[in-house]
């Protein structure tokens, strides 16, 4: 059967694919990434309860006291929500020590790591295949005696199928009937291509048709997603993924990409709740410190942003530039970038969202101004539009409702930075002072104090703070600060431009506060 015939077959039968997320184990092997126990718990909670993955691999056994604490916390939580069987720990063939460690944590499933290639068996373990098989059998029996379910990794399985398939079959012949729940086949070094993946899986399924096989991809050749789909097409019942594609070297197959290709290209079923993919991505990005590329499919900042004006025009007429990857499907929305390539259609889309109505001539002048800003490499956000409109059209814009009257920020060696501020809000003056981790942090804390004490209102939460120097690379250029805020679930992005970074951030902050005040006035 050809590949296209297989694809059509899978689309007809709608197969179910089990998803195992290994962010907390394999993902933590990303260089520089180490999750704290409470961070592991929060990620595990979202994976199990919100995203609804089938299984999570949360740690390697016996690594540290921190891992013991984290796994114990996760297991207690999973037991409370009746999902303990979904929590798994990587263990080793070590005379029962890993199994005892997992049991001490309250875990009921262990993923034992065996050698899937003759080279790894004889050179790394320095054992014969027969001795390694005997060790595995003893480990599995011990786990069963402890009431622990066993899955088995065949490390370097792809290398084994390429160079020593007789060894792989020898291992499987000895182990397929001893009570192992799943055999997990890794492309440990990321060396396979999809055609090899199909060939190797067909051979495994032909010899062991009733066995549950998982596939564990690595992305060294940028083929982790392609190989994962090839494995499913060839009969794999489960796939291993990580959030944001975290993992050693080039990482693993990204959960978000695997999910949408399974569903859209093969009509496969999973238990994943797609509208939570962006949320888990942002959480892991924050905890790991590894930024998601803006053009990363599904979860990147820019993937639902149309830049070219002709695209916005096509979307307006009949969604001509949209596909099945609708942003609403993932809890996001389509945006239309503002810059030199925007064109009138992009501007009109953004003005429409803000409720601003302009004549064609006014729209032309605003478009021209935004194009000029784009040529200078300045970023224009939707929240800047009202200010640009007022500036370009010379409207008698209403006076700012929130004004900065005066401020002093200070920093000194051995002392926390401080800020003293005086602001005017709807004609009433307020003063406050605070210290913080930096000058801007102290400034914002002063504002929070005023809003809480004098106005009885919550201050928006700062979600992201980005600084750049337009136009690219000039050290004497102005500092541009773009800040993302969350005001009771509504996301605002505002921009400030100044020679001083703190001043630029303050300008962006007061833009945000005036947007909120204007909206409150409209509600009244």
The Cα–Cα gap between 341 and 360 comes to: 18
16, β-bridge pairs: 269
The Cα–Cα gap between 25 and 245 comes to: 12
The Cα–Cα gap between 96 and 102 comes to: 10
Which residue, among 202, 294, 219, has the nearest Cα to 254 in the 3D structure?
219
The Cα–Cα gap between 459 and 516 comes to: 10
CA angle 294, 355, 385 (to 5 degrees): 50
Which residue, among 488, 438, 446, 439, has the nearest Cα to 463 in the 3D structure?
488
Residue 155 catalytic? yes
**CB-CB contact of 297 with 78 (8 Å):** no
443, β-bridge pairs: none
DSSP 345-369: HHHHHHHHHHT----HHHHHHHHHH
Peptide bond into 471 cis (omega under 30): yes
- How many of the other CB atoms lie within 10 Å of CB of 166? 10
**Catalytic residue of the set 67, 155, 378, 383:** 155
Q: Which helix (H) or strand (E) holds 453?
A: helix 439-453
**CB-CB contact of 155 with 120 (8 Å):** yes
65-95 burial string, b = 16+ CB within 10 Å, else e? eebbbbbbbbbebbeeeebbebbbbbbbbbe
Write down the number of H helices and E strands in the chain. Answer: 18, 16
The Cα–Cα gap between 5 and 195 comes to: 15
Residue 138 catalytic? no
Q: What phi, psi does 456 have (nearest 5°)?
A: 65, 35
Question: E strands of 307-414, at which residues?
Answer: 335-336, 402-412
Active-site amino acid positions? 25, 155
């Amino acid at each position: 059967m050809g590949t296209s015939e297989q694809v059509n077959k899978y689309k007809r039968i709608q197969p179910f694919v089990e998803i195992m997320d290994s962010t907390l184990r394999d993902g933590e092997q990303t260089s520089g990434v180490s999750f704290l126990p409470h961070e592991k718990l929060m990620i595990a909670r979202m994976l199990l309860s919100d995203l609804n993955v089938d299984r999570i691999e949360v740690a390697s056994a016996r690594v540290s006291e921190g891992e013991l604490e984290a796994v114990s916390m996760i297991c207690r939580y999973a037991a409370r929500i009746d999902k303990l069987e979904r929590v798994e720990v990587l263990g080793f063939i070590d005379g029962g020590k890993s199994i005892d460690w997992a049991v001490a944590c309250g875990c009921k499933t262990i993923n034992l790591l065996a050698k899937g290639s003759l080279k790894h068996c004889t050179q790394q373990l320095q054992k014969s295949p027969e001795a390694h098989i005997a060790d595995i059998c003893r480990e599995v029996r011990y786990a069963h005696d402890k009431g622990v379910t066993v899955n088995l990794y065949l490390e370097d399985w792809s290398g084994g199928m390429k160079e020593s398939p007789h060894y792989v079959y020898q291992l499987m012949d000895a182990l397929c009937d001893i009570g192992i729940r799943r055999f997990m086949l890794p492309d440990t070094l990321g060396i396979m291509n999809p055609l090899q993946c199909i060939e190797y899986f067909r051979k495994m399924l032909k010899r062991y048709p009733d066995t549950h096989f998982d596939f564990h991809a690595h992305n060294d050749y940028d083929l982790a997603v392609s190989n994962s789909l090839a494995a499913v097409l060839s009969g794999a019942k489960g796939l291993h993924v990580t959030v944001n594609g975290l993992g050693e070297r080039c990482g693993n197959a990204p959960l978000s990409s695997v999910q949408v290709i399974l569903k859209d290209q093969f009509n496969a079923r999973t238990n994943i709740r797609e509208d939570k993919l962006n949320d888990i991505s942002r959480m892991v990005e924050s905890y790991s410190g590894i930024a998601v590329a803006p053009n990363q499919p599904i979860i990147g900042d820019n993937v639902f942003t149309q830049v070219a004006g002709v695209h916005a025009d096509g979307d307006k007429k009949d969604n001509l530039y949209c596909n099945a990857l609708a942003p609403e499907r993932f809890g996001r929305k389509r945006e239309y970038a503002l810059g030199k390539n925007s064109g009138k259609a992009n501007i009109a889309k953004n003005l429409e969202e803000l409720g601003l109505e302009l004549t064609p001539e006014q729209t032309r002048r605003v478009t021209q101004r935004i194009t000029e800003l784009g040529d200078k490499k300045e970023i224009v956000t939707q929240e800047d539009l009202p200010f640009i409109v007022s500036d370009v059209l010379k409207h008698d814009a209403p006076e700012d409702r929130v004004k900065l009257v005066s401020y002093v920020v200070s920093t000194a060696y051995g002392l926390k930075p401080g800020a003293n501020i005086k602001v005017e809000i709807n004609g009433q003056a307020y003063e406050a002072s605070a210290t913080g981790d930096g000058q801007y942090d102290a400034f914002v804390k002063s504002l929070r104090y005023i809003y809480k004490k004098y106005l009885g209102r919550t201050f928006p939460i700062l979600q992201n703070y980005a600084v750049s120097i337009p136009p690219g690379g000039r050290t004497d250029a102005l500092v541009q600060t773009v800040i993302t805020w969350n005001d009771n679930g509504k996301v605002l992005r505002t921009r400030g431009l100044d020679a001083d970074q703190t001043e630029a951030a303050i300008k962006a902050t007061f833009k945000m506060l005036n947007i909120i005040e204007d909206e409150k006035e409209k509600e009244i």
